[in-house]
Structure 1
Amino acid sequence: MLTYTPGSTLAHRLDPRTKLAFQFAFALVAFTASTAPQLFGVLVVGLGSLRLASVSIRAVLRAYRVVILILVLGPVVAAVTPGPPWLRLAPALISLRSVARIIPILFVSAAFIHSTPIRETRAAIQRTIPGRPGQLLGVGVGLTFRYVPVLRADLRTVRDAIRARNGDTRSLWERSQRLTVLLVDRALRRSDQLAVALQAHCFAWNPTLPRLQFSRLDIPVWLLSVGFVAVAVVDLLGL
């Protein structure tokens, strides 16, 4: 599971608002890319983001292995037809083009998660989106980043406990039922603990967030983001 890791890379030194803007602009230009050179360029930028954040591609592939597996199976499923000729190339190519757009976006998001503290992410969201909607979104993102690793650890614990009690000898349906019930029970307990912890720490909708400040390093990234948006708009309008 990818989490924030302290460092001094270029991605770590960028303002989180700059990184959020870059993610939005990159996703926009990735979804409008259609030709092979454009898709290749999108992939290069995604890999470059990992490089600037000092994230290994192996770690990203391991963290997103389930998502990537589903994406890879997409073109295969799209190619299969229930009758002759049984396999069709055109639908597979369309699906493959979609996969080529999504994977670089995962790379950029992984670089953001690896290089941005949770509190700075929340501060960037709340200072970009005004009012209660921004506060609610900031709190939601912060809690998600903090508790997804916890829930994954609970999943591993429950799975190991089932195996230790010879649960592997049961059918897949029985194991799935048992795993689901135990995970829901743990999730409900976590939610109760979270509610008590928020009350104990006097949870506030608008706490003192870390100070954010742009630097010279943010300027070229903003220019690149604006360029991405311009390219996407041109592609959408067909100019």
Structure 2
Amino acid sequence: MTLSYRPGDSLAHRLDPRSKLGFQVAFALAAFAHTTPRGLLALTAVVGGVLGASGLSAREALAEYRFVFPFLLASPLFSAATLGPPWVRWSAGFDTLLASYRVVLVLLVSAAYLRTTPVRDSRAAIQRLVPGRVGRLLGTGVGFVFRFLPVLQADLRRIRDASAARLGDQRGLVARMRLVGVSGLARALSRADRFALALRARCFAWNPTLPPLSFSRADLPVVAASVALLAWAAV
């Protein structure tokens, strides 16, 4: 199941996207400033509250980000290994393991944002936070990525399933990676051409009428939490 926006009535759905973006930034800064067992334990509790407020299960979010886990798990092994005595540096591997877990927490918070925020609201929030042509460019790019990435993920999933149906799963790992990679790249280029044609056919505008945004009382705790995380990161 592709991780994308779903309408709902959770607390996170009712929040202004600007407050959610600010919380993500503050959380990431706190995670990078306190990559310790105690700090990550506190941030894990925060992530649990974020997932509960968004109605998103940790299992579903982790399943969508499973492609990054091999890299996150391999990093501590490479950091701990050495070419000479003592051959294994446990402290370096443990520090890298904490850094990998920090990345997982940041991804879970991002997943909650994607599930509860429409693409047009994200674009509107970015263009209001960053004025001028730079803001329009960033907002447009984010909107394109949020719309295009789930389609590419679905294409890769269909290519993999089609290969397995033709006994492609019995090939070697390198052959399977080559097949999925080449086919996925060809599909991505084809979709990019059709996407550009669709934009021209619809008279794409750099400055469209964006949805109105407004803060509410529900945003106050989120803003306060963002300020607290920023203060904690600065300590």
User: Structures share a fold, TM > 0.5?
Assistant: yes
Aligned partners of 1:79 and 1:90 also within 8 Å: yes
1:39 alignment counterpart: 40
In 1, Cα distance between equivalents of 2:115 and 2:124: 17
Query: Residue type matched to 1:182 in 2?
Result: S
SS in 2 for 1:162: helix
User: Given residue 192 of structure 1, which amino acid in structure 2 is its aligned partner?
Assistant: D
Question: In the superposition, relative to structure 1, how do residues 170 and 58 fare at CA in structure 2: closer, same or farther (>3 Å)?
Answer: closer
Deviation at 1:93, TM superposition (A): 1.7
Q: Does 1:195 align with 2:177?
A: no
Deviation at 1:73, TM superposition (A): 2.7
Residue 200 of structure 1: how far off its partner (Å) = 1.5
Residue type at the aligned position of 1:141 = V
Equivalent residue of 1:232, what SS? Answer: helix
Alpha-carbon distance in structure 2 between the residues aligned to 1:171 and 1:48:
42
Residues matched between the structures, number: 234
- 1:203-222, aligned counterparts within 5 Å? 203-222=204-223
Query: Residue in 2 aligned with 1:154?
Result: 155
Unaligned 5+ segments in structure 1 are 235-239
Aligned position for 1:80: 81
Q: Hey, what does 2:23 align to over in structure 1?
A: 22
Q: Over the residues paired in the alignment, what is the CA RMSD in angstroms?
A: 1.8
Residues 2, 60 of structure 1: 8 Å contact kept? yes
Shift of 1:109: 0.7
Matched to 1:221, the amino acid is V
Provide the C-alpha distance between the structure 2 equivalents of 1:58 and 1:133, rounded to a whole number of angstroms.
36
Residue of structure 2 equivalent to 1:101: 102
- Shift of the 157–222 alpha-carbon distance from structure 1 to 2, 3 Å rule, reads same
TM-fit CA distance, 1:227: 1.6
Alignment partners' CA distance in 1, 2:180 and 2:113: 32
Higher mean alpha-carbon deviation, 51-60 vs 66-75, is at: 66-75
Residue 197 of structure 2: SS of its match in structure 1?
helix
Q: Percent identity?
A: 50
Q: List per-residue Cα deviations over 1:176-235 (Å, max 9, x = no partner).
A: 44433322221121111111111111110010111000001111211111121122122x
Match of 2:58 in 1: 57
Deviates more, 1:7-16 or 1:169-178: 169-178
Q: State the match for 1:48 in structure 2.
A: 49
CA shift for structure 1 position 143: 1.1
Name the residue aligned to 2:3. Answer: 2
| 1:90 has 2:81 as partner | no
For residues 3-51 of structure 1, give each alpha carbon's deviation from its aligned partner in whole angstroms, at most 9, with x where no partner exists.
1111111111110000000000111111100443222111111121011
Q: Determine if contact 2:62/2:108 at 8 Å carries over to the other structure.
A: no
1:163-182 → structure 2 map (5 Å cutoff): 163-168=164-169, 170-182=171-183
Change (3 A) 1:93 1:143: same
What does residue 71 of structure 1 align with? 72
Identify unmatched segments of 5+ residues in structure 2: none
Corresponding position of 1:237: none
Q: TM-score, normalised by structure 1?
A: 0.90
2:12 is the counterpart of 1:11: yes
Instruction: Give the partner amino acid of 1:153.
Output: A
